[in-house]
Structure 1
Amino acid sequence: MKSYSTIEDTIGVTPLVRLQRIPGEAGEQRGNVILAKLEGNNPAGSVKDRAASAMIRKAEERGDIKPGDTLIEATSGNTGIALAMMAAIRGYKMILIMPDNLSVERRAAMAAYGAQFILTPANQGGMEYARDLANTMQAEGKGKVLDQFANADNPAAHFETTGPELWQQTDGRISHFVSAMGTTGTIMGVAAYLRSQNPQIQIVGAQPAEGAQIPGIRKWPEAYQPSIYKPEQVDAFEAIGQAEAEDMARRLAAEEGIFGGISSAGALVAAMRVAGRVRNSTIVFIVCDRGDRYLSTGVFN
């Protein structure tokens, strides 16, 4: 009997594409190529599909969880959608805790996969509040917290998949890797892999400028800094403003045909700054999700 793939088997091996118009003088005239890794092509629509799959599968392999259990996670959106998908695939109940200022599209996607969600007041701590509540619920025996912020399976997913894909897709030519920083699993795992292949590769993280509130880009208070985050793995940080990220999201769709989210556009802002400083480089940035998750915010109007 022929064996067919499942939806989980389609996670990863996403396209890597060259930007044609936005780079302008920072591109070919300087010998630079700017490449976008299209993680919105994953089945639940974001780079977080990789970590969600790895965290659940590896927890099962260790005997930490089994189908039928209740899983709990604090999330700002994409991880929650990815975990909701994986819970549906593998037979778990999923409770997601998130700030109440997240876009309605992301909430609707989680509900479509059958997840329950608890909204926390954004003006009372938002994600920090959500993380504390998740741990409290676990202590009360209401479920198992996978904890993307401290779970080594999160960056390991990118060490094992995203990093090798970028190395192979660029034939080892990648010189700079640029990523938004939120949970930091993506940038940590990819950085570790790429550095194992070429220690000279530069790792650049996009963080929010003062006052910016860009979904998917965070700078955590010291007490809540993800334990998976190793600052020595990042060579440079770029502070991304709200307006420039939103403007770049519109440009990315209208000029390149890539409909990405706002944090993806923030990573491109950072990549463009890098391109303006270097020559003869291959610069890769992560398009971590799709823009249709942000239509209700008015960013694309």
Structure 2
Amino acid sequence: MDDHHIPPDYLRCLPIELHSEAEAFIRYLRELPSKSPVECPKCGHPRFSVEANSKPRIPSYRCAACNKGFNCLTKSPFSGFGLMHLWPAYGQYLLAGWSIHNAAKALGVAPSTTSRWIKPLRTAMAKEFPALYHWWSARHDRTNLEPPPHIAAQAQAFLNGLEHLLTTQQADCPRCGSRDTQRVDELRPNFYCSVCSSTLSLLRDTVLARLGYPEHWMGFAQGVINGETVVDLQRRTGLCVPACKRWQVRFLQMLEQQGHDDLIQWITWLRSRRVKEVGDFVREGGHMEAVTGSRYSADSKRRFSVPPHLIRKKH
């Protein structure tokens, strides 16, 4: 792992009441390789001795009863796994919702390594920290996507602000300061000032300036918050892929400008899990509904299934 790389703030996406348990889980992973056993894991005898070893990876022991060697990882989910010094860091990436590939890149190991680590870490979390596992696994496996309260509050504040921007019937004229303005556009917040006869737009100098189809903005914003992929967003709005990519960048910029950093981290987590969910579904032979309603569709009303290999290319 790069010495200059800072591990993610894994507590951002967790409810406050689980913070202490999450920290205990990371501490458990850090201390596990040096933890002293209390009995032989093979026969249960409490007496054993430390074996002499010039450069032990972890302390080795020999049972006084069965005369078999073991260490603190024997018959544990981590038995046979190496790079123990990276387990706590990977635990942080796992709790923060990082994908296998991104975590592997940050740690400087192969994706196959982080892929193998998931099972023992999940097993240990489920056994030693069940409350943390119950909450985290439901989000990781996308069986429950409800965010923590503080992130839900950020999402609602963002949606309320966007709705107010689109529906407000009042604005101050930036030229003369008058409030005697009249909305002149049903979909966009454009106004006419009757005092200085100037026009104004509340979208001017914002990331939404010159963005089309405002009737889709609320639904698109909700899709971004749900961690939907670009293809999901295309199905939601009927826009083409390039437009969905541009919109996705713009709305994430808005979130960043408004200081919703925890929500952005949550969206990143959900989006990585959604990509994996779709990929697993297609690899197992599932058929995704084709995108309809975009300008590239021959018939915007037609809905059909396509072969898995074509769906995989789109994702």
TM-score range, shorter chain: under 0.3
Q: Which of structures 1 and 2 has the bigger CA Rg?
A: 2
Please give the TM-score of this superposition, normalised by the length of structure 1.
Answer: 0.25
